[in-house]
Structure 1
Amino acid sequence: MKPTPRHEKMTQYPVVDNELQIGGIPLTRLAARVGQTPFYAYDRRLITERISALRETLPAAIHLHYAIKANSMPAVVQHLSGLTDGLDVASLGEMKTALDTGVNPENISFAGPGKTDKELTAAVAAGVIINMESAGEMERIANIGNTLSIRPRVSVRVNPDFELKTSGMKMSGGPKPFGIDAEQVPGVLKRIGQLELNFRGFHIFSGSQNLRPEALIEAQTNTFELACRLADAAPSPIQWLNIGGGFGIPYFPGEKTLDLTPVADNLNTLLDKYRPKLPQAEIVIELGRYLVGEAGIYVSKVVDKKISREETFVVTDGGLHHHLAASGNFGQVIRKNYPVCVGNRVVSDKMETVNVVGPLCTPLDILANKMELPVMETGDLVVIFQSGAYGLRASPQDFLSHPAPIEVLV
């Protein structure tokens, strides 16, 4: 098997004196400040710059929300709460984190199948928008509202009859646990009109991690058309329309940064076309990975190095229990390497092809497979880029009971 080509250095992180910097801090100094490896570090400057770029590109009428599931570190959420127009949550724990930021509950939405009565009660009491995933959930919310003498704020999460093509994870089209099938929505809307519910609108989320503008354009166009069609059956005018997100980031060689210009142009067209039909609607784009994914790194330290049947293995103190996605076990069909570098010696004349592995007793614990990197020694710092989203909290942290990593926002 031929070795995987070495990834180019992620240009958003400067290299000074051959050492990676994050947040303007040399990596070895940051590691000393953190006090341990492994750790995640998130760069607030890069997050802020991503939001600014979106504001400049997307239509001014678009409300930008952060999907906390991408990275729920409280400091990251707090930072984003001051840059975006709202927060989207998928659990009671995430809702508490969102409320702690001081964001108006009316700008928080709660989605996800299988919400418990405890979660629904807390959401009704808090006054957030609950994206209803089923007719049964709707009835439970209405009963809870009656008990609390509160008129719950709700929207209908729609499972449309289309999907976001070429997306990393398809969230719509066909049978899905997410949302109410579009053909069933008119009946649900009629029932909403009979209940003491404060109907706000629709949540239509088609898929994630898409790098093709034409696919996003098609999905957004279909979303507006569907929302307008369903609005005819709504018990009151649409106040809120969450059209999802799906904006992807490049992870692997050959992938290109998403060109948002045609997407923004199409959104301007859609807003002009459908504004007469949705005159009161706040249009929301909900993004997670796109806001934080490229602003984070995962850092582990080399603890051992060995040769096994002519292959070199570099063993670090980090692994899939902290970064499942980088190991290839979080949605990849064919495993590919994330961008990796030796952070304390980014460039070297002496290179070698190595397998970077973690300390776990499983052959799945691979952070880089047959990758050309500078010759490493014990104590070197291995950096995995594109780690700001779906890193720590999407990983089996308790597997084999190794110590937890630390997260820092710099």
Structure 2
Amino acid sequence: MPLLDPAAMAPDLRAKAEKIQSWQHSAATFIYDPSVALARIQLMRTALPPWIRIHYAMKANSFPSLVEVISPKVDGFDVASESELETARRVSATASISASGPGKSDAFIECLSRISNSIVNVDSVTELHRLRKVAENHGRQQKVALRVSPPYVQLDIGDEFENDGQRFGLFSDDLHHAITYARASSFLELVGFHFHLLSNNLDAARHASYIRWCLSWSRSTAQRAGIDLRYVNVGGGIGVGFGIESEFDLERLGNELKGLETPDFEVVIEPGRYLTADCGWYISDVVDLKVREHESFVVLAGGIHHFQLPTSWDIVHNAVVLPREGWSETYPRPTVENQLVTIIGKLCTTEDTLLRDVAVTRVRVGDAIAFPYAGAYGWEFAMQNFLGHPHAKRALLRSNDIGDD
């Protein structure tokens, strides 16, 4: 696979990136263009029916400066920790909050109990007991939605898929007990259900069928159980092609859903990666080149302690060589031309490999490598303290300014 042409990175973004690295004396930087994320949100607003509310899944990218720009354009936030909740509340004191994830801490539950417009997506029966206890201590009623974890889903397009994330949510055997317990407690207000059964899905027809299934299952289950259904959260899972695969057909998803009768309950979707992946670049200096017969290694100042996603999820992220002229050292500038190279980081592990066997026209020590689609699960997902190397800097590209962390 050849590396991308440097022209793939917009000149203004590249110029800002170079300025940031010089200004911050940083050998590795994440730079985010919020206009790209805002355009994605607008695409969703235009394509999807108006009855779908958009909550940004903050786990994809919780950089406060970016979240602050996104905040006015979404209906709320999906958070999974006290830190994410704190960021959400700092940028908007009124945005709706949905809280997800297993093993929620008591401190997290305490914080959520103080927010009147929060809904906790319950992951287990034990969590229900803990939520009731905290709510009772505060003398308040906590809104809850039960996260559903069926073993498989039968779609109306003739497709069936197994639930790969069965560790999350309430298992089928626990669901009836959870419904009974929540309805019996005066400190828990059962408002509906939460789902998250697809991940990085690129098939719009399948996604539309999945959402229809979520709505239908919720209606029928609520009717049988006597629940006043007011809320269905269908999760996220809309995928990104990373410049390698075809992109998700958002217009097709919207067209299929617009044909549905408007639900008489709130419907929430939680995009994260889809909104922010292509707004971000990870840029790292080339600090060494190691060449032997049939194999060349490009060594970066960064690595998977900054940008772990390509290795952990086996995702092929393409990259761009950013040439930098000028060489002030007294020794010859190491250079590789017209070869296959493997791009690695500086950690003492063979896992620190970002790209394997990619064709490069020329790369030199002192150049930089820029990875696109680094705006989601980048800085937040990395093992930043391994070996104690400096963290990557983060910066936001603004119209007339740069905001850093």
- TM-score of the superposition, structure 1-length normalised? 0.86
Matched ranges for 1:193-208 at <5 A: 193-196=183-186, 197-208=188-199
Deviation at 1:310, TM superposition (A): 3.3
Counterpart in the other structure of 1:6:
3
- Whole-Å Cα distance in 2 between the matches of residues 234 and 383 of structure 1? 53
Could you say if the C-alpha distance between residues 34 and 233 of structure 1 is closer, same or farther in structure 2, counting changes exceeding 3 Å? farther
Structure 1 stretches of 4+ moved >6 Å: none
Q: How does 1:204-353 map to 2 (within 5 A)?
A: 204-234=195-225, 236-251=227-242, 253=244, 255-270=245-260, 272=261, 275=262, 278-279=263-264, 281-326=265-310, 328=311, 330-332=312-314, 337-344=316-323, 351-353=338-340
1:67 aligned residue (57, 71, 82): 57
Q: Number of matched residues?
A: 381
- Give aligned-pair identity as a percent: 29
Q: Tell whether the 8 Å contact from 1:315 to 1:359 is kept in structure 2 after alignment.
A: yes
Q: Is the 8 A contact 2:150 2:172 kept in 1?
A: yes
2:374 paired with 1:374: no
Q: What one-letter code is carried by the residue in structure 2 that aligns with 1:316?
A: L
Q: RMSD between aligned alpha carbons?
A: 2.5
Instruction: Name the aligned partner's letter for residue 319 of structure 2.
Output: V
* Alpha-carbon contact 1:193-1:235 (below 8 Å) kept: no
SS, match of residue 375 in structure 1: strand
Distance 2:219 2:128 in 1: 22
- The alpha-carbon deviation at position 184 of structure 1 amounts to 3.8
| Equivalent residue letter for 2:52 | I
- Specify every segment of 5 or more residues in structure 1 that has no aligned partner in the other structure, as ranges: 16-20, 166-170
Q: How many angstroms apart in 2 are the aligned matches of 1:164 and 1:283?
A: 20
Q: Rate the CA distance shift 1:78–1:182 in 2: closer, same or farther, 3 A.
A: farther
| C-alpha displacement of 1:264 | 1.0
In structure 2, distance between residues paired with 1:212 and 1:144? 41
The equivalent residue for 1:18 is none
Is 2:6–2:322's contact at 8 Å kept on the other side of the alignment? no
| Aligned residue in 1 for 2:72 | 82
> Do the aligned partners of residues 398 and 231 (structure 1) sit closer, same or farther apart at CA in structure 2, a change above 3 Å counting?
same
Kindly indicate whether the alpha-carbon contact (under 8 Å) linking 1:81 and 1:103 is maintained by their aligned counterparts in 2: no
Say if 1:324 and 1:391, in contact at 8 Å, map to a contact too. Answer: yes
User: Following TM superposition, by how much is the alpha carbon of 1:8 offset from its aligned partner in structure 2, in angstroms?
Assistant: 6.2
Q: Deviations over 1:31-61 (max 9, x none)?
A: 2234312010010111111111111111122
CA deviation string 1:126-149 (max 9, x = no partner): 332111111121121111111111
* Distance in 1 between residues matched to 2:352 and 2:281, nearest whole Å: 18
For each residue in 1:274-299, what CA deviation from the matched residue of structure 2 results, as whole angstroms up to 9, or x when unmatched? x4xx52x1111110000000110000
The equivalences for 1:42-191 within 5 A come to: 42-104=32-94, 107-127=96-116, 128-163=118-153, 173=163, 176-182=166-172, 184-191=174-181
Q: Tell me the distance in 1 between the aligned counterparts of 2:154 and 2:30.
A: 31
- Offset at residue 317 of structure 1 (A): 0.1
Match of 2:372 in 1: 385
